[in-house]
Amino acid sequence: MTEAAPPTEQTLHALYRDHSGWLQNWLRRRMGNAWDAADLSQDTFLRVLSSAQPLVEVREPRAYLLTVGKRLLSNFYTRRSLEQAYLAALAQLPQACVPSAEQRWLLLETLQALDELLDGMPAVVRRAFLWSQLEGLGYRDIAERLKVSERTVKRYMAQAYEHCLLAEL
């Protein structure tokens, strides 16, 4: 006699069985690439599996999968755009300065992680943080660029640091 699977496992299996083909086809039409669509479809189900929402509460499974899939598709294109910008910048470097394949991979991973970290910040906070960290601008210079007070810049920076600290937890 076989032991019955837990309800969540049964529900996930049914969700995958009933909707994975549909989701993968939807993604393939959007992406024009069956391999990337298959990967993103699997990522969608992994995200659903790790989600805090119990699957038994999902009333509209396709709408739910579509929401998760669209977010992952957006992230996919953001990463691809970031990668293309990075590769274009690399193409401008003299041959002697071009990083190795391993270094390029590590840099791309770091850029993607940084992009994800900064993604939740309001645009003005992100801009102030990047000017401070990447260009070394002081609060006065940032305030002039943003046309706000230094006190506001300090508040933006505190918000950015808090965001980064909470993201690491």
Residue ranges, comma separated, of all CATH 1.10.10 domains in the chain are 120-169
Please write the tens of the pLDDT for every residue from 1-40: 555 555 456 678 888 999 999 999 999 999 999 999 999 9
Q: pTM of the entire structure?
A: 0.60
Task: Quote helix, strand, coil % in the chain, to nearest 5.
Answer: 80, 0, 20
Residues 6+ apart with CB under 8 A from 115: 78, 79, 82
For 71, phi and psi rounded to 5 degrees? -65, -45
Please write the tens of the pLDDT for every residue from 118-159: 877 888 998 999 889 888 899 999 999 999 999 999 999 999
User: What CATH number should be reported for the domain whose range is 120-169?
Assistant: 1.10.10
Report the candidate in 17, 64, 24 with the shortest Cα–Cα distance to residue 42: 24
Q: Is 148 helix (H, G, I), strand (E, B) or coil?
A: coil
CA 153 to chain CA mean position, Å: 26
